[in-house]
Amino acid sequence: KNQVEQSPQSLIILEGKNCTLQCNYTVSPFSNLRWYKQDTGRGPVSLTIMTFSENTKSNGRYTATLDADTKQSSLHITASQLSDSASYICVVSAQRAGNMLTFGGGTRLMVKP
């Protein structure tokens, strides 16, 4: 069964600090891995999409890594801001008709002043 597990479940950091969120997946055959940001009560918004051949991808203060051999990914946030407070969800897509996405449970990040 396809699964995506994230850690930690929640995280509190001070404004300006860095943090790293982890994702492990067992989705096969693998197509791509995405990180989404979801504010409470809102739809997920894409941060990065990584394919099998990509190891690192940056989007502003967000840097995602992917190790397709160990089936692990991380999302690093640098110089955190109060507006970074949200859930960060790791989502993996399998190579199959329908392009179904498997969502992780998310890491709820709170940035405090």
Partner 1 sequence: EPEVTQTPSHQVTQMGQEVILRCVPISNHLYFYWYRQILGQKVEFLVSFYNNEISEKSEIFDDQFSVERPDGSNFTLKIRSTKLEDSAMYFCASTETGKTEAFFGQGTRLTVV
What is the Cα–Cα distance from 74 to 19, expressed in whole angstroms?
Answer: 10
Stretch that binds partner 1, among 15-23, 53-61, 70-78, 89-97 (CB under 8 A): 89-97
Residue 18: name the closest of 64, 87, 78 by CA.
78
Q: Is 93 in the site for partner 1 (CB under 8 A)?
A: yes
> How many residues sit close enough to partner 1 to count as binding (CB under 8 A)?
24
What is the Cα–Cα distance from 80 to 60, expressed in whole angstroms?
Answer: 11
**Footprint on residues 12-31 left by partner 1 (CB under 8 A):** 31
Q: Is 45 in the site for partner 1 (CB under 8 A)?
A: yes
Question: Are the C-beta atoms of 106 and 6 separated by less than 8 Å?
Answer: yes
Which of 106, 107, 109, 111: binder of partner 1 (CB under 8 A)? 106
